[in-house]
Chains A and B, each alone.
Chain A
Amino acid sequence: MDQSVINDWVSYINDATVVTGDFFRSLPGSSIIIRYIKSSYQDDPIRSIWEALLFIFAVHYFLASKKSYLKKNYVPLSEREVDELVNEWEPEPLVQPLQKSEQWDLSSIPVIHGAAGVKVNAVLNTTGTTKPKQVLNCASNDFLSFANDESIKAKAVEVIRQYGVGSCGPPGFYGQQKAHISFESTISKFMGAQDAIVYAQAFNTGTSVIPSFLKRGDIVIADAGINLSVQKGIQMSRVTVRWYQHNDMKDLEKVLEQTNKEFRKRPLTRRFIITEALFENSGDSPDLQKIVELKYKYKYRLMLDETWSLGILGKTGRGLLEEYPLVSRDDIEITFGSMAHALGGGGGYCIGSRSVVKHQRIGSLAVVFSASMPAYLAVCAEAAIEELSDTSSGRMAKLHKNAVRLNEILATANLRSKNKLTIISRPDSPYILVKISEKYVDENYGAMEKKLQEITDECFKEGIMITRSKRLQQYEVIPIEHTLKICASIDHSENDLNFIGSILFKAVNKVLP
Chain B
Amino acid sequence: MSKSHSPPPIVTSNIQAGQPIHRRRSSSIITHIEPETIEEQSDQAALPNLNATWVHGKGAWVIHIVIILILKIFYDLLPGVTQELSWTFTNITYVTGSYLMFHYVTGIPFEFNAGAYDSLSMWEQIDNGDQYTPAKKFLLGVPVGLFLISTHYSHYDLKTFVLNFLACVAVVIPKLPGSHRMRLTVPDLTPQTPI
Question: Which A positions have Cβ atoms within 8 angstroms of B?
Answer: 36, 39-40, 42, 44, 47, 50-51, 54-55, 57-58, 61-62, 64-70, 211, 215-218, 224-225, 231, 234-243, 245-246, 248, 263, 265-267, 269, 281-282, 363, 422, 424, 435, 477-481
Contacts and interface: CB of A to CB of B under 8 A. Distances in A.
B8 A65 contact: no
Given A40-B152, A216-B118, A231 B15 contact: yes
Interface in B1-57: 2-10, 12, 14-19, 39, 43
Contacts of A67: 130-132, 177
Contacts of B115: 215-217, 238
B156 A40 contact: yes
B39, B111, B118: most-surrounded residue (chain A CB, <10 A):
B118
Interface of B: 2-10, 12, 14-19, 39, 43, 111, 114-116, 118, 128-133, 137, 140-141, 144-145, 147-148, 151-152, 156, 158, 161, 165, 168, 177, 191-195
Contacts of B161: 47
A69 B129 contact: yes
Contact of B137 (A61, A68, A281): A61
B132 A61 contact: yes
B9 A263 contact: no
Contact of A224 (B4, B151, B158, B195): B4
A478 B140 CA distance: 51
A267 B194 contact: yes
Nearest to B168: A54
A477 B9 contact: yes
Contacts of B165: 50
B192 A265 contact: yes
A238 B195 CA distance: 12
B7, B114, B137, B191: most-surrounded residue (chain A CB, <10 A):
B114
Contacts of A66: 130-133
B114 A237 contact: yes
A64 B35 CA distance: 24
Nearest to A281: B4
Given A36-B152, A240-B19, 20 more contacts: A40-B156, A47-B161, A51-B151, A54-B144, A61-B132, A61-B141, A62-B137, A64-B132, A70-B130, A216-B17, A216-B195, A224-B8, A238-B43, A239-B18, A266-B191, A422-B2, A478-B8, A479-B3, A479-B8, A479-B9
A64 B140 CA distance: 13
Nearest to B143: A58
A435 B15 contact: no
Contact of B2 (A55, A266, A424, A477): A424
